[in-house]
Amino acid sequence: MGCPPNCGLASGKPLHKITRFEHEPISAISTNALLSPFPSVLYFMINFLLRRLLALLFVLLIVSVLVFFLMNAVPGGPFSLGERGYTPDALANLERKYGLDKPVWERYLNFLRGAVVLDFGDSFAVAGNPPVTAVIARVWPITLHVGLYTIIVSFGLGFIFGLVAAYYRNGWIDNVVTLIATAGTAVPNFIIATWLLLIFGYQIGWGQPSKWIIPPILGTGNAILSWDYFLPVITYALLPLGLVARYTRASVSDALNADYVRTARAKGLSERSIMFRHVLRNAMIPIITVVLPQIPNLLTGSLFIEVVYGINGLGKFFVTSITNKDYPMIMGLVLLIAFFWSITYLVTDILYALIDPRIRVGGRSRA
Amino acid sequence: MTEATNVIPLRPPTERRQQRSLLGDAVRRFARNRLAMIGFFILVFLFFLAIFADVIAPYPVDRADFNAVRVLPFTNSAYPLGTDNVGRDYLTRLIYGARTSMLVGLLVPLIGFSVGVTLGALAGYLGGTMDFIVQRLIEVFTAVPPLLIALFMLSVTGSGVGNIIFVLSVTAWIESARLTRAQFLTIREKEFVTSARALGATDARMILTHMLPNIITPLLVSFTFAVPAAIFAEAGLSFLGLGITEPTASWGKMVGSSIGNTIRVYYHLALFPTILVALTMLGFSFVGDGLQEALDPTRSR
């Protein structure tokens, strides 16, 4: 590990002297051991952030090149699809209108010029040819809404379940939590979705597909909180809930067996204070590292759940854009998702480094 | 306390208890694990279905009986599990579905691992430029979720079993590459590697005979988890109607085409394939957990 000149270790004082307080005047300790690490951390973080942001741009560029050229390598464009029956003249006119008659590289450069200022062009397939960004702005809130509820339900319940399971280990609660965790990871969510819809949806009338057209935040469609969210959120939450519960159980029961907890008990601290002051604090680290990478998944939406429940969100839109060969929409959605994921990786890495200073960022590969 | 208790009795090797090999130990631990054995028998059963589908299935896959469309299960002795929307025997379809699932489930991780382990080993062993290239490659491919990549690639290649396998392999190498690279980085500085290098081993020999055998355990465990992931992906894409094309049977497609207003009457069309998919996923995850515990005794619990 390279050490910048102003970091504590290179300041000329041998390490053992810093730790031996009785030989060291207070002022010397504060300048050498306490103050000097801060500039080094700052220097390190800025350096790291700049490098990672550069890498992010590079990744987005490569992704856009790959997707654009693969997409255009397929014979047949968006207008020669299916039985639309355009005459050759009409087809040529349409392609000229949307700029599809130009060579691929020229179209890519045009796309890039727009993408720099977040203009991805107009959609081919959506009625009225609105700009891609407008379509995303209309569709994403629906997905975000379901995603946020899912995050609250799965992380909250998962954490509580894991905690209780760790505390009453091998009791019936523990068994139930294990069962949920196994079911959530083992049974594909589109199958769970199908069965829940079959059992509850048609019977009770929760989750009517026709209601999902307008984002709830903008009013008219679904209410902000309605039973229509119940089935999608439950289905969607099952997997992260199981994951969170399992990790919470493991790390909390590790912490419960640790020496410092025994010491705390021996000191006569109350169970509650042991749990909140000692156990949870240390158990949080592994939980955070598992929970965070789940978030982009939940916020960009699940294809299957949106298709089964008829939610007109981002995931369902991705599928229809691909089948319609709506080139500008595909590019916009892919880049949005890629950006979102890359940012999450970045934030996770920063948090790793902040939570656990032993992890040096350069050597870590993504979890 | 007498001094004699501190002396460790030395016996000649011939009198020692029968020596246990690492593999024998692992097998014993695995067999003692109830869930792992249940998973193992589920997998044996599924592989039996997949391999001998031609022999045990009562009818050919694509034989349709138009006089017996959507027969309910347990009502007609000719079709014990009923028939589907075009009158094909459902039991036959389910058995052949196992073949599709197992084919995709095994081939995708095999292709993925052969590419991923090679890339990861080169990156971890050589470092430098190679490592840089592999890491950027991984970064690009992880920027978009694997399922969306598969979906996009399917629109480029078209559907079908071969294309599904190809499309899923495009992202299947990432996990193994990452794992191999990380493992190589940790064992690169170990004594046995240094001593092999001191003895003048070539790079290829170092990687193949000294380093790879040492990381076989995590790779094996990761493989058993990659299989259900591939099966899940195939079932999901077929469920959306984008994966396996007719006449090939696929559980995911069977669930997908059963959904509709009539599902409450013809419940069997969704019920049986879902049970099989769930059973497959459970089987592989039980075996994976069991292997992990059997091969790595330091993991307690």
Q: Band the pLDDT of A213: cuts 50, 70, 90.
A: very low
Calculate mean pLDDT across residues A249-268.
83
- Which among A77, A248, A61, A233 is positioned nearest to A161, based on CA atoms? A248
Cβ atoms of A341 and B144 closer than 8 Å: yes
CA distances from B96 to A170, A223, A244, A348, B194 (A): 40, 45, 36, 43, 51
Q: Which two tokens stand for residue A315?
A: 């995931």
Reply yes or no on whether the pLDDT at A225 is more than 70: no
Contact A59 B140 (CB under 8 A): yes
> Looking at the partner chain, which of A59, A71, A191 has a beta carbon nearest the beta carbon of B139?
A59
> Looking at the partner chain, which of B143, B151, B301 has a beta carbon nearest the beta carbon of A63?
B143
Calculate how close chain B gets to A83, using CA atoms only, in Å. Answer: 18
Calculate mean pLDDT across residues A58-73.
86
pLDDT value of position A259: 83
Least confident of A89-98, A145-154, B188-197, B278-287: A89-98
Highest mean pLDDT among A295-299, B45-49, B60-64: B45-49
- Percent of chain A with pLDDT strictly greater than 90: 0
- Which among B63, B72, B114, B70 is positioned nearest to B92, based on CA atoms? B63
Contact A319 B147 (CB under 8 A): no
Higher pLDDT, B10 or B152: B152
Q: Which two tokens stand for residue B113?
A: 């691992």
pLDDT value of position B109: 93
Interface mutation vs chain B, best among A180, A190, A342, most B CBs within 10 Å: A190
Cα gap A270→A277, rounded to integer Å:
10
Contact B240 A60 (CB under 8 A): no
Q: Band the pLDDT of A32: cuts 50, 70, 90.
A: very low
Residue B17 DSSP one-character state? P
Q: Band the pLDDT of A360: cuts 50, 70, 90.
A: very low
Chain B partners of A304 at a C-beta cutoff of 8 Å?
236, 239-240
pTM to 2 decimals?
A: 0.76
Q: Band the pLDDT of B9: cuts 50, 70, 90.
A: low
B268-295 and B22-32 helices, crossing angle to 10°? 140
Reply yes or no on whether the pLDDT at B114 is more than 90: yes
Q: Which helix (H) or strand (E) holds A31?
A: none
pLDDT tens digit sequence for B127-173 = 888 888 888 888 888 888 888 888 888 888 877 888 899 999 988 89
Least confident of A85-94, A200-209, B237-246: A200-209
pLDDT value of position B110: 94
pLDDT value of position B107: 93
Chain A residue with CA closest to B134: the answer is A365
- Which among A320, A307, A292 is positioned nearest to A123, based on CA atoms? A320
Cα gap A213→A193, rounded to integer Å:
19
Cα gap A313→A329, rounded to integer Å:
14
Reply yes or no on whether the pLDDT at A210 is more than 50: no
Reply yes or no on whether the pLDDT at A357 is more than 60: no
Provide the sign of the torsion angle of the four alpha carbons B159, B160, B162, B168, taken in this order: positive
DSSP annotation string for A74-108: SSS-TTSSTT----HHHHHHHHHHTTTTS-HHHHH
Q: Which two tokens stand for residue A330?
A: 């595909």
Contact A338 B232 (CB under 8 A): no
ipTM confidence score? 0.74
pLDDT value of position B116: 92
Calculate how close chain A gets to B3, using CA atoms only, in Å. Answer: 32
pLDDT value of position A211: 46
pLDDT value of position B119: 92
Please report how many Cα atoms fall inside a 13 Å half-sphere around the Cα of residue A334, on the Cβ side.
Answer: 31
Cβ atoms of A25 and A11 closer than 8 Å: no
Cβ atoms of A245 and A163 closer than 8 Å: no
Mean pLDDT of chain B: 81
DSSP annotation string for B138-187: HHHHHSS-HHHHHHHHHHHH--SHHHHHHHHHHHHHHHHHHHHHHHHHHH
Q: Band the pLDDT of A174: cuts 50, 70, 90.
A: confident
- Structural Rg of chain B based on CA atoms: 25
- Structural Rg of chain A based on CA atoms: 27
